[in-house]
Amino acid sequence: MAAPDSKNNDDSDSPVATYIADDVIPGDLQSGDDSALPSGTFDPVYEAKARVLNKAIQEIGMGRYQWQLFVVVGFGWASDNMWPIVTSLIFTPVKNEFNPVHGEFLTLAQNIGLLVGAIFWGFGCDVFGRRWAFNLTIGITGVFGLIAAGSPNFAAAGVFAALWSIGVGGNLPVDSAIFLEFLPASHQYLLTVLSIDWAFAQLVATLVAWPLLGNYTCQEDDLVCTKDKNMGWRYFLIAMGGLALAMFIIRFVFFTIFESPKFLMSRGKDAEAVAVVHEVARRNGKTSTLTLEDLSQFDVLGVEIQQEEQGTGQQTSAGAALKRQLEKVKMTHLRSLFSTFKMGLSTTMITIIWAFIGLGFPLYNAFLPYIQATRGTDFGDGSTYITYRNEVIIAVLGIPGCIMGGYLVELPRFGRKGTLAASTILTGVFLFASTTATKSDALLGFNCAYSFMSNVMYAVLYAYTPEVFPTKDRGTGNALTASANRIFGIMSPIIAMFANLNSAAPVYVSGALFLTAGLLAIGLPFESRGRASL
Per-residue model confidence as pLDDT tens digits over 306-363: 445 455 444 444 444 444 444 443 566 677 787 788 888 999 999 999 999 988 887 7
Nearest one of 70, 64, 505, 519 to 251, comparing CA atoms: 70
269 CB-near residues (< 8 Å, 6+ apart): none
Nearest one of 485, 474, 480 to 179, comparing CA atoms: 474
With a cut of 50, which residues of the chain have pLDDT below it?
1-33, 303, 305-307, 309, 312-329, 376-380
CB 509 within 8 A of CB 381: no
399 CB-near residues (< 8 Å, 6+ apart): 196, 199, 200, 203, 455
Helix axes 196-215, 232-254, angle to 10 degrees: 150
CB 141 within 8 A of CB 167: yes
Nearest one of 30, 323, 92, 63 to 190, comparing CA atoms: 63
Distance CA 309, CA 69 (A): 41
Q: Give the model's pLDDT for residue 33.
A: 46
CB neighbours of residue 471 within 10 Å: 26
Q: Give the model's pLDDT for residue 489.
A: 84
Q: What is the pLDDT of residues 487-512, one digit of tens each?
A: 888 887 777 677 665 666 777 888 89
Domains of the chain: 64-259+337-522 (1.20.1250.20)
CB neighbours of residue 61 within 10 Å: 13
Helix axes 320-327, 299-310, angle to 10 degrees: 70
Q: How far is CA 16 from the centre of its chain?
A: 32
Secondary structure tally for the chain: helices H, strands E? 25, 0
Q: What is the DSSP string of 185-216?
A: GGGTTHHHHTTHHHHHHHHHHHHHHHHHHHHS
Distance CA 117, CA 161 (A): 12
Q: Give the model's pLDDT for residue 318.
A: 41
CB 490 within 8 A of CB 115: yes
Residue 436 φ/ψ, nearest 5 degrees:
-85, -5
Provide the residue type at 509 as one letter. V
Q: Give the model's pLDDT for residue 300.
A: 63
